[in-house]
Structure 1
Amino acid sequence: MGDLLFQDISALLAADVGGSGALPQQPSADPPEEAILRTRLKHLQAEHQTLRESYAEALAAAVEEREQRLREQQQYTARLQQLHRQNELILNCAGDGIVGLDAAGRATFVNPAAAQMLGHRADDLLGKPLHQMVHHSRADSTAYPPEQCPICFPSHRGQRSASGEDIFWRKSGQCFPIEFTRAAIVQEGEQSAAVVTFRDVTQRRLLEMRLRQAQKLESIGQLAAGIAHEINTPTQYIGDNIRFLQDVFEDLSPVLAVCREAHEALQHGQSPAELLQRAATVFASLDVDYLSREIPLAIQQSLEGLERVARIVRSMKEFSHPGGEEKQAIDLNRAIESTLTVSRNEWKYVADVETDLDPNLPPVWCLPGDINQVMLNLIVNAAHAIAEKNGDDRSQKGKIVISTKTDNGWVEIRVSDTGAGIPTHIRDKVYDPFFTTKPVGRGTGQGLAIAHAVITERHGGTIDFESQVGHGTTFIVRLPLGKKTHGGETK
């Protein structure tokens, strides 16, 4: 720009002096106009030089700034590439499965851990609907409608994120349990994509099942002495009755012998008069009225004792059965009665038990072994609370009341006691593992922690309590009725 301006001024001056492009040489002083032009030309030349220098500096600064921007852009690009490689390395090295989904539920990214757990190549899953590939059926092989899927399509249910436990299907056709978390990617208020992370919890489930079984067997071990006593009592009077019947049979043997001889005499046409006389003598030595009354009573008591022993053994079998990881429809009232039978020696000396079990209670879908363990923990805790309140005073018993009922799609179990109650300052700790107020050897602090985990985490239910210090406590367990599906729905 400065060069063009200089050229324009030079052309103007050349035109003014006759087009020669140079000022005329005069031996004398310059005319005033020429002096003015020369002065102006000098000023313009100086300004032109200044402009050229400024232009060169500005150009150099612009070039430097552009080069700096290019360097920064290159550094930024390199940093992005480095972060991309790091993120990709992290995702590829992660032990959990990670899958990216678009708004339609199609896989946009699958890390190696996910591909390995699912038995697919990552390329086989990319662009495919994840639900259709690995989440198409429930554990019982029934179809899993996409609109009920909490993993691939939670937006259909008004959810932007979801977490929980479910199952995925491998390419081989085997299903396996997973723990998953789904987080939505929201842009301009709309879900444009999502990230699903999951892990195979097969081994954890197996260890948890073994732990629960060990805890159950530990409970049975703690109850063993009481159970042995419960079996020993009916066994003892069964034995007494059998010995009584044995003695009576020995007393009646002569009567039977006389009757047999009389029968044979009649068959041979002989007169049984002498035998009848002998029979009369034998009968006279017996207390027939006493025997007629006591023999049926001894038989009845023996049968009742055998039934009691059988009930105890049956209850132990039902209580200790390991069960499985699949929920079953059970008679909850019967499960409660079995647990009461197994734990009878824990409460019978300190409390009377009343039950108010709804006879119309429908089958409850649950894990039977876990529910038995919960009921045992609550019943034993109730007995211990009453024993703590009464101390060494055995003259007065407390009361344990167990009731069941249905309530708007739920079954409610209440276990009430007239014990000491739960102090206010520890009520927020009762479900903490290993927290206990019982003396050493009396409790481990695991009972209510296990009960809370079983009810809330494994059954989707609730467990709460109402307590009044000095008057007692009521634990309230609520379980959903119907068959609990993997998607959290109840059928």
Structure 2
Amino acid sequence: MNEGDPFLRTFLNRNSAVAWMILESAGDGIFGLDTEGRITFTNSAAAALLGYEPADFVGRHSHSTYHYSRADGTPYPAEECPIYAAYRTGTVHRSDADVFWRKDGTSFDVEYTSTPILEDGRITGAVVVFRDISERRRFRERMSQVEKMTAVGRLAGGVAHDFNNILTVINGYCQLLLTRMDPRDPWRPMVEEVNAAGERAATLTRQLLVFSRKQEIAPRVLDVASIVAGMEKMLRRLIGEDVDLTVATPSPGRVRADPGQIEQVVMNLVVNARDAMPGGGQITIEVEEVELDAGYAAAHPGARPGPHVLLTVTDTGGGMSEEVRAHLFEPFFTTKEKGTGLGLSTVYGIVRRFDGHISVTSEPGRGTTMRAYLPRAEAGEVPAAPAPPPPVARGKETVLLVEDEEAVRRLARVILESQGYAVIEAADAREALHAIETGPAAIHLLLTDTVMPGMGGLQLAREARDRRPDLRILLMSGYTDRTLVDREPEAADLPFLQKPFTVAGLASKVREVLDRS
């Protein structure tokens, strides 16, 4: 404190040492201004926040000391300074959308209040109370990003559902055509190309469902380092000869996750790194065990303290701007001419699904480092590979098929009739209930979509069972059964078929449900 200052002596005389002790003990920065904008007193917190010793701070012209430019670096004329409005107009001014500048030239986000000082009814200056809100703002921005990604994930899941209906028709008819075409038919390669394109599109919708955390998975304990090692040869071919690849896996890195999805994380991160270096460069993949502390978790929404396996992919490319980094994990966001914009959004969805956390470090011209943290798991047994499915048996039962998408309904009917089943069609629940009440005595299976206008498939199943207690039920949807169970827990007890289904997939599932005791 500059106790020789006359203003300070007056302050002490009028307000006592106790009041000054309170001022000095405050965590917020507090300083006074005269009507010329000069700093008349300060507490230690104010001087420290701005990088000064108290004696060096008092007497300075305030605006040129800490408020000389805006956050974007443009000059901030003193005559426009809202802090001075307190003694110029006698009004209190508050703001949390400004920055103060430290002695070393760095800035911080600030929240301040500037209040006029009155002596005998006359304005003699202002007192400014301020605090550094940089961390609070960063936390809010991170939380906003988490909320935005959650909302975009819901949208992605809805888009995937609609595409799955379309792909069911495309892929289904292609498969039916291929089963009927002679291998030497000149048109067969064209149909195979259409079918292959449909399968690639189905892969994209699965990636959307991964991002929205609605894709079914088979997690088990696995070794991330072993997965990376097993992919190394393939990754070297993938990135090309002009990119050097270094793999460092000093620790095993056991996590509980789906192996196919961990492979997808590695693949997508490496492809993204390769694409960032069109002229060649260096990619480094590292796997190590780390411990995230409570401080890190508090500063990074979505992160949890505890032991983790860290997968790091670093490139020496051109890096990215803060603006690009803010949108990096959004589906369909891409800076590439031919990119889908789903690679990194898929990575984000997979990592979050397994309770992990992902961070990005990048600056223009300095490359990029992607870090995926996954909770560490204890070793566990790896399940045996499933046996190949047996040939699908045909049938003669009657199936009530309920689907509001006409093209999907027609396809399902063609598949079922080709397997020997009798099919009754209904476009909605109302038609289905009418068929149950007036149709043949023997309806063996209700095959219904879950999401339809009016009454949904689950409600239809309940009402159909009320009328025909022995009726078998099979639900189908472009969403997953996990999504359905989240909304309708009762659905967990009913068989489910995921769209887009294959010819064999539909036939085998129908037979499986009909053969249940």
- Greater fraction of residues in strand: 2
Please tell me the TM-score bracket, short chain as reference: 0.3 to 0.5
Larger RCO (CA under 8 A, 6+ residues apart): 2
Query: TM-score with structure 1 length normalisation?
Result: 0.35
**Structure label with greater radius of gyration:** 1
- Greater fraction of residues in helix: 1
